[in-house]
């Protein structure tokens, strides 16, 4: 008799496991088919890819594998799609799709730097997937396990945002080694950051590239610094919200700080951007550039991100080339005209898009809680619970 009771319990638990497995499988099929953990923002071999247009003109370089159908938006807003890749030669070729239109901003007379106070309770979250990335001229090496120079750049970015009154959290968890599993490990960090700091305004993963120095060198307002590349993962339901933020950031930077934004790359991975809308990956310089140049860029990026997310007013130089005027017997360059632009904070329409993007995450969390509760109960407890529930219904 005892043996038969034991067999009943085993069968009951077996059925329970079967029901849970079926439920998980059903839920998984309901999720967007593109959700996965694996990412490609990593390259086993040293070196970098070079992207060319159909006429053989070089467009950009990147120290990560390029794939067919990846998209690229150049500094002058030309949109390309990669049509073929030569992995052996580390070369890719792209067809021109047309020019993108960046958001327009209202021209105003007021030149104050006031920022809209609304929504300042929403946090900006920062972490570094490739936590060993470093800058050779400043750090003496390309990588410092767990404590890369990239954290100093992220710290500068965080401090500059906080100086503007923005709630900003930087997580310095190590995700070493720098391999194909780094995003799987940093995913846990991102999930915890989001869980502990709701509501979230944006999530930024800070990196540096590994291409030649000259590809990232720039001057903004006469100051030497690194350019910044924006990277978006195309395989996630937040792509639209992420693109809107990226375009807004580039539009503001192009007017206020020409030369700061290098370009936008839309890769086939996810880069954990499916976890929260308005998630972007920033590349600050390359391993050959001074870390201080990347930190300088981080300060400027903080101002741009501030305007893009929270709104405000900024003064920008007119992008037209200054005309040369004759003064006496020698020519001098005229001072660039200053213009003031008002930027609106994230609109209600953008909020709606972001809400749709985060819906699956809420559902997943709820399902996880239910499954955990089911697994935590014994087969007997679960059976009694169901009996009680349905019993009450029948009596009613």
Q: What is the pLDDT along the chain (396 residues), one digit of tens a residue?
A: 444 444 444 444 444 444 443 343 334 333 433 333 445 555 556 789 999 999 999 999 999 999 999 999 999 999 999 999 999 999 999 999 999 999 988 766 544 444 445 556 789 999 999 999 999 999 999 999 999 999 999 999 999 999 999 999 999 999 999 888 999 999 999 999 999 999 999 999 999 999 999 999 999 999 999 999 999 999 888 999 999 999 999 999 999 999 999 999 999 989 999 999 999 999 999 999 999 999 999 999 999 999 999 987 877 765 444 433 433 444 444 455 667 787 877 655 455 544 544 554 555 555 555 555 555 554 455 455 444 444 444 333
- The contacts of residue 292 (CB under 8 Å, 6+ apart) are 138
- The contacts of residue 106 (CB under 8 Å, 6+ apart) are 341, 342, 344
* Count of C-beta atoms within a 10 Å radius of residue 366: 10
- Between vectors from CA 150 to CA 81 and to CA 287, what angle results, nearest 5°? 65
Q: From residue 327, how far is each of 50, 321, 330, 331, 332 by CA, in Å? A: 46, 18, 6, 6, 7
63, 41 contact by CB (below 8 A): no
Query: Rounded to the nearest 5°, which phi and psi values hold at 175?
Result: -120, 25
Of the candidates 390, 364, 392, 373, the residue with the CA atom closest to the CA atom of residue 16: 373
Q: From residue 348, how far is each of 312, 345, 352, 354, 373 by CA, in Å? A: 17, 9, 6, 10, 36
128, 281 contact by CB (below 8 A): no
293, 225 contact by CB (below 8 A): yes
- DSSP 8-state class, residue 89: T
- The contacts of residue 387 (CB under 8 Å, 6+ apart) are none
Helix, strand, coil percentages in the chain from 3-state DSSP, rounded to 5: 40, 25, 35
Q: Is 195 exposed, middle or buried (0-12, 13-18, 19+ CB in 10 A)?
A: exposed
Tell me the helices (H) and strands (E) count for the chain, helix number first.
8, 18
307, 314 contact by CB (below 8 A): yes
């Amino acid at each position: 008799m005892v043996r038969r009771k034991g067999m009943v319990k085993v069968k009951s638990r077996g059925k329970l496991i079967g029901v849970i497995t079926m439920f998980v499988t059903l839920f998984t099929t309901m999720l967007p088919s593109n959700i996965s953990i694996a990412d490609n923002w990593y390259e086993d071999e040293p070196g970098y890819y070079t992207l060319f247009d159909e006429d053989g003109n070089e467009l950009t370089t990147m120290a990560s594998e390029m794939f067919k159908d990846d998209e690229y938006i150049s500094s002058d807003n030309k949109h390309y799609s990669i049509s073929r890749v030569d992995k052996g030669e580390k070369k890719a070729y792209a067809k021109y799709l047309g020019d993108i239109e960046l958001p327009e901003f209202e021209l105003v007379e007021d030149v104050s730097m006031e920022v809209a106070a609304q929504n300042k309770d929403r946090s900006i979250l920062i972490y570094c997937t490739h936590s060993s990335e470093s800058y050779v001229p400043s750090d003496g090496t390309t990588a410092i396990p767990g404590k890369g120079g990239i954290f100093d750049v992220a710290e500068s970015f965080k401090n500059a945002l906080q100086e503007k009154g923005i709630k900003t959290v930087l997580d310095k968890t190590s995700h070493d080694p720098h391999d194909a599993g780094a995003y799987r490990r940093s995913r846990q960090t991102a999930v915890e950051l989001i869980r502990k700091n709701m509501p979230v305004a944006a999530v930024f993963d800070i990196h540096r590239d590994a291409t030649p120095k000259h590809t990232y060198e720039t001057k903004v307002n006469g100051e030497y610094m690194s350019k910044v590349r924006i990277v978006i993962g195309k395989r996630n339901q937040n792509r639209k919200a992420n693109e809107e933020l990226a375009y807004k950031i580039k539009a503001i930077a192009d007017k206020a700080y020409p030369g700061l934004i290098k370009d936008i790359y839309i890769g086939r991975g996810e880069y954990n951007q499916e976890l929260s809308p308005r998630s972007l990956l920033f590349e600050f310089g390359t391993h050959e550039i001074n870390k201080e140049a990347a930190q300088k860029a981080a300060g400027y990026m903080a101002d741009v991100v501030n305007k893009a997310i929270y709104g405000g007013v900024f003064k920008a130089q007119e992008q037209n080339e200054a005309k040369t005027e004759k003064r006496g017997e020698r020519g001098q360059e005229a001072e660039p005209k200053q213009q003031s632009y008002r930027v609106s904070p994230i609109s209600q329409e953008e909020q709606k898009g972001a809400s749709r993007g985060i819906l699956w995450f809420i559902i997943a969390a709820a399902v996880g809680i239910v499954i955990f509760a089911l697994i935590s109960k014994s087969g007997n407890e679960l059976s009694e619970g169901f009996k009680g529930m349905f019993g009450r219904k029948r009596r009613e």
